[in-house]
Structure 1
Amino acid sequence: MDALGDVGRARQDARARDARSPWMPYLPPSTAPFRPEGVADGDLRWAETVASGGYTHLRVARGTRLRFTDPTGDACATVLLFNALAPSERLNVADTQKIPWQAYLGEGHPLLSGDGRVLATIAADTSGHHDAFCGTTSDAAAIERYGDAAPEGPSPSGHGLLRLAASKHGLTTRDLPPSVSFFQGVRANADGDLDWTGSAGPGASIELVAELPLIVLVANVPHPLDPREDYVVGPLQVTAWASRPTAEGDPVFSLTPERERAYRNTIAYAALAGL
């Protein structure tokens, strides 16, 4: 009788192969080729490359620093944020534009919930090409433009991928508000129409600091206003490491009275939650 057996041979064969997918997370994260400089191995929490037309989802602690990098100039990170302690509190794009008196996202911009708290702050930005107007592609839009919207197909919709990511956390379609997107810019012109401005080019990055424990949903799909006929989107690199939330005395804390109130609301909530 064969001592190894069919299962044993299959296991041996599988372990002999280099079966690592380029879209798998790096475990430990310190093995990622795009790890951030100056961050100790013990502080790294996550490193992953999200495929073109792919998605990811993370649950991060308060104070986590999250970096998105566009290595090719064609990534488009569609992002939703939820308070992990109470997911009914979620990103509110209108308040994210209204409270800081600025519709365009960039360094120092707070990403707010509808409860007057800051979910995350844009701590660094080398891109400057982002969007808080258009959301992401619907199934209907993807089908009309590309012929397919299925998550496992050649042209997944952004909303379809966000639904998948949300389901991992017990969230459904009704829980998904409008999203923001990074690396593909939009600007309002003099007539009030929205113009797509494309990307800043390869290598741009943006970093968020989690001001509360967060559920982070990410879909990497073409921007709804991208005029290119083909389904064009590049890979997206994601890294996360331990840091600290925004505190009194930081430059962004008191830029405006409205921002300071939002940060104080956030700090008070975190303190009451024992964070």
Structure 2
Amino acid sequence: MTTDAVAHNTDTVGNARADARSQGGQTSPHMPYLPASSSPHVPAGVDPAELTWAETVAPGGYTHRVLARGTRLRLDDPTGDANAHVLLFNALEPWERLNTADTVKIPWQAYLGAGHPLLSGDGRALATIVGDTSGRHDALFGTTTDAANLARYSDARPEGPAPSGRALFVKAAAKHGLGPRDLPPSVSFFQGVRVGVDGAAEWLGSVGPGGSVTLVAELPLIVLIANVAHPLDPRAEYRVGELRVHAWRGEPTLPGAPLFDASPESRRAYLNTLDYAEARGL
């Protein structure tokens, strides 16, 4: 009998089962909350019973989920160091995915904020930002790569001290039958970037602890999130804080809503989305 077996009392099937069950109540500060209503961080004004997803994502961690159309997705930065890199896919036809070029082109705005639709390359709104207390986001520079992290931090392993966003997205995508070539450039929330008239990028960082962003899913979505340092973060050390995620049922953006008619371009995107949804009985 090995020392490990003695320590954990797993020398027989019965003892192994008892040992496994004895650990069933253990928790971690970074984990999904099941049921979601058990989250200790329910956003103000949200009925815990309405939650469909609640999770605290570790620094350097990732998560993923399928969300129904109309779902509200709220991201919270409790420390001021979270950086939620986000990818969105049409859950019904995942070859339709976030297109950052159209996301900044259609609203005529390079900087994400409340009212900004997140568009696919098919001219449809996958999601819309409906709440924002941070204002520090990025739709231009994507996430970190293994090569960049190796050069800067000497490590890029998903399980290491400085995981790249790309590596974590690959792991998250695999859970939904998607591969590396399915991953487009991402948007990120809570660490801002601005581009000067000379084309130089300025990293702004966060507004400090307490920022939040709320999205509404305009179609059924596959959501991938990597909570990693921003590629333009100038700090020498790998810095990222925990990220809180909550989701609950709601309604998508429909005709008559102010956002639906915010501009001719956004109206067309929402009409395209509505046409697609109605054709599929959503």
TM-score, length-scaled by structure 2: 0.93
Selected match of 2:270 from 236, 259, 263: 263
Alpha-carbon distance, 1:46 to partner:
0.7
Q: Which stretch shows the higher mean deviation, 16-25 or 189-198?
A: 16-25
- In the alignment, the residues of structure 1 paired with residue 11 and residue 141 of structure 2 have an alpha-carbon distance, to the nearest angstrom, of 56
The residue type paired with residue 95 of structure 2 is S
- In the alignment, the residues of structure 1 paired with residue 13 and residue 157 of structure 2 have an alpha-carbon distance, to the nearest angstrom, of 34
C-alpha distance after superposition, 1:57-84 (max 9, x if no partner): 0100000000000010000000000000
Selected match of 1:158 from 162, 165, 169: 165
8 Å Cα contact 2:77/2:211 also seen in 1 = yes
- In the alignment, the residues of structure 2 paired with residue 95 and residue 69 of structure 1 have an alpha-carbon distance, to the nearest angstrom, of 26
Are 2:166 and 1:127 equivalent residues in the alignment?
A: no
Selected match of 1:47 from 54, 62, 66: 54
Selected match of 1:177 from 184, 190, 197: 184
Please name the residue that 2:78 is paired with: 71
The residue type paired with residue 107 of structure 2 is P
Q: Which stretch shows the higher mean deviation, 182-191 or 104-113?
A: 182-191
**Same amino acid, percent of matched pairs:** 66
Q: Give unmatched runs, 5+ long, in structure 2.
A: 1-9
Selected match of 1:252 from 249, 259, 262: 259
Three-state SS of the structure 2 residue aligned to 1:19 is coil
C-alpha distance after superposition, 1:224-272 (max 9, x if no partner): 0000111100000000100110011111111110100100110110000
Are 2:112 and 1:114 equivalent residues in the alignment?
A: no
- In the alignment, the residues of structure 1 paired with residue 121 and residue 28 of structure 2 have an alpha-carbon distance, to the nearest angstrom, of 38
The residue type paired with residue 37 of structure 1 is A
Q: 1:123-272, aligned counterparts within 5 Å? A: 123-272=130-279
- In the alignment, the residues of structure 2 paired with residue 172 and residue 16 of structure 1 have an alpha-carbon distance, to the nearest angstrom, of 37
8 Å Cα contact 2:78/2:211 also seen in 1 = yes
- In the alignment, the residues of structure 1 paired with residue 194 and residue 148 of structure 2 have an alpha-carbon distance, to the nearest angstrom, of 21
Alpha-carbon distance, 1:13 to partner:
4.2
Three-state SS of the structure 1 residue aligned to 2:259 is coil
Selected match of 2:43 from 22, 36, 44: 36
8 Å Cα contact 2:149/2:163 also seen in 1 = yes
Alpha-carbon distance, 1:15 to partner:
4.1
TM-score, length-scaled by structure 1: 0.96
Alpha-carbon distance, 1:21 to partner:
1.9
Alpha-carbon distance, 1:34 to partner:
0.8
Three-state SS of the structure 2 residue aligned to 1:208 is strand
Three-state SS of the structure 2 residue aligned to 1:252 is helix
The residue type paired with residue 238 of structure 1 is V
Three-state SS of the structure 2 residue aligned to 1:253 is helix
Report how many residues are paired. Answer: 272
The residue type paired with residue 196 of structure 1 is W
Three-state SS of the structure 2 residue aligned to 1:95 is helix
- In the alignment, the residues of structure 2 paired with residue 16 and residue 132 of structure 1 have an alpha-carbon distance, to the nearest angstrom, of 45
Alpha-carbon distance, 1:6 to partner:
3.6
Q: Give unmatched runs, 5+ long, in structure 1.
A: none
Alpha-carbon distance, 1:96 to partner:
0.4
